Structure 1
Amino acid sequence: MRKPRTPHNDRVRRVLPVGLAIALLVALVVTGDLAPTLRRPESTPQAADRAAPAPLRVAVVGDSLSAGRSHFSGNGLDDESWMTYAEGDGIEYVGGWARSGATPDQMAAAVRPISDVDVLVILAGTNAVRTGKTAADEAPAYEQIVDVVRPKRVIISRIPPYRFHAVGALRYNGDLRSFTESHGWSWADPWTIARDGDDWADGFSVDGTHPAGPAQYEMLGESFRRIILETRVLPSALG
């Protein structure tokens, strides 16, 4: 005997509560009552929102290549001071000593302590070559400059091509680099933009000793800027 069929109205009554439940769930989601459980978690702060590191406090010791148009850095930076173009946006110039014609031993005698120096840049030696002195002769002067300033990091720069004493300048650079590395300091060559082999690139220098003018000093400053900023990853020499 066949089982009696369920009346159509009864099936509708049984299905209807399920449909109501689904409709109610949809309504809750749309109105936002369940939205908190469906939202994505808040995104984490981006790196750009983090505080920028404090500027590097940079001191400079050198000769006319750093002193600028006035021939003495104590008169302030000018358009022929490479530091004019290196400072700002992560680099703070905090002083030092530079005078036209100065040798490293004269710099060592004149420089004074500077508080809390992150990076000391020494660009010196052209006048030592001019006066017949070697890097070995001037080595104690570099050490004294560093001892007086007591920076966290030291950059010793290659001197530029010296057209009138080319062989002496090359020898000085080679010996100065060995001396620098033996002390655990950073050796830098900001002059790659200015050289063609061992001589000046065309148009970069007029007198064979210095950059030609503000445009060339700006390029030198940008070169030094990159070198200085790269020292952030180096450990402090002061511990």
Structure 2
Amino acid sequence: MRRFLTFGSAFVVLVTLLLAGDVLPVFDPPQAEPRAADRARAEPLRVAVVGDSLSAGRSLFLGNGLDDESWMTYAEGDGIEFVGGWARSGALPGQMASAVQPIAGVDVLVILAGTNAVRTGKTMAEEATYYDQIASTIRPGAVLVSAIPPYRTHEPAALAYNTALRAFTEDHGWMWADPWRGARDGDDWVEGFSVDGMHPAGPEQYAVLGESFRRIILQIRPMLSARG
């Protein structure tokens, strides 16, 4: 399964050293052909999303389309094309793995999942196989796994889950990102960013999250181009 997710030894080294901040490192492919590079720049990255209420939007189900509380609303366009996926409020990684369907030609799969696992007392070790299943179903060019946000009423468990999720991601040679840096104050939320201590407060906050994801996703393009 991992053959379609590995970019070569040089890329794996980069992944291991990822993200002192919230964005991925950019590098220029040393032998990219100009025509291929121009073509890659002209075509938007096809991005799929799998997750829970943090991605599902105001309607609580991503299948109803993007809205003002869907972070992808603010990430798509100008180089990013949203091509679908699956996200529902309250979903656990296992439910996502069962529900998601194959999508042809996905460049980047974004998985933002785990908050509900924490809510129900599950550990990352119990959920790990479902992340593999999601990636195997979509078969993208790159897998981008996101940190879960602060969780005020389950803070220690959320921190432990994030630590284990990052280790799992890097072990797979996938990409890890933390789009929540602008929303986080220590281990809690920035004042006003969340009302319930679990979700962004509203459209303004989802726009900040979407812009953060946008920066991260666009920096994956050179890595995909390097693969040819």
TM-score by length of structure 1 reads 0.77
Residue aligned with 1:148, SS: helix
- Equivalent position of 1:59 in the other structure: 48
- Equivalent position of 1:139 in the other structure: 128
Counterpart Cα distance in 2 of 1:67 and 1:236: 30
Q: Is 2:181 the partner of 1:192?
A: yes
1:94–1:237 Cα change, 3 Å: farther
Residue aligned with 2:132, SS: helix
- Equivalent position of 2:140 in the other structure: 151
- Equivalent position of 2:95 in the other structure: 106
1:162–1:139 Cα change, 3 Å: same
Q: Is 2:222 the partner of 1:233?
A: yes
- Equivalent position of 2:108 in the other structure: 119
- Greater relative contact order, per chain length (Cα 8 Å cut-off, separation 6+): 2
RMSD: 1.5
Residue aligned with 1:221, SS: helix
- Equivalent position of 1:169 in the other structure: 158
Structure 1 residue 53 displacement after superposition: 2.2
The within-5 A match list for 1:208-223 is 208-223=197-212
Counterpart Cα distance in 2 of 1:119 and 1:237: 15
- Equivalent position of 2:59 in the other structure: 70
Counterpart Cα distance in 2 of 1:83 and 1:101: 18
Residue aligned with 1:89, SS: coil
Contact 1:152 1:236 in 2 (8 A): no
Contact 1:151 1:238 in 2 (8 A): no
1:238–1:73 Cα change, 3 Å: farther
Q: How many residues align?
A: 190
Residue aligned with 2:48, SS: strand
1:238–1:128 Cα change, 3 Å: farther
Structure 1 residue 233 displacement after superposition: 1.7
Provide Cα deviations, 1:49-98, integer angstroms capped at 9, x if missing partner.
x6642000000000000000000000000000000000000000000000
Counterpart Cα distance in 1 of 2:172 and 2:187: 26
TM-score by length of structure 2 reads 0.81
Give the number of the structure whose alpha-carbon radius of gyration is greater: 1
Q: Is 2:169 the partner of 1:180?
A: yes
Structure 1 residue 236 displacement after superposition: 7.6
Residue aligned with 1:234, SS: helix
Unaligned runs of 5+ in 1: 1-49
Residue aligned with 1:190, SS: coil
Unaligned runs of 5+ in 2: 1-37
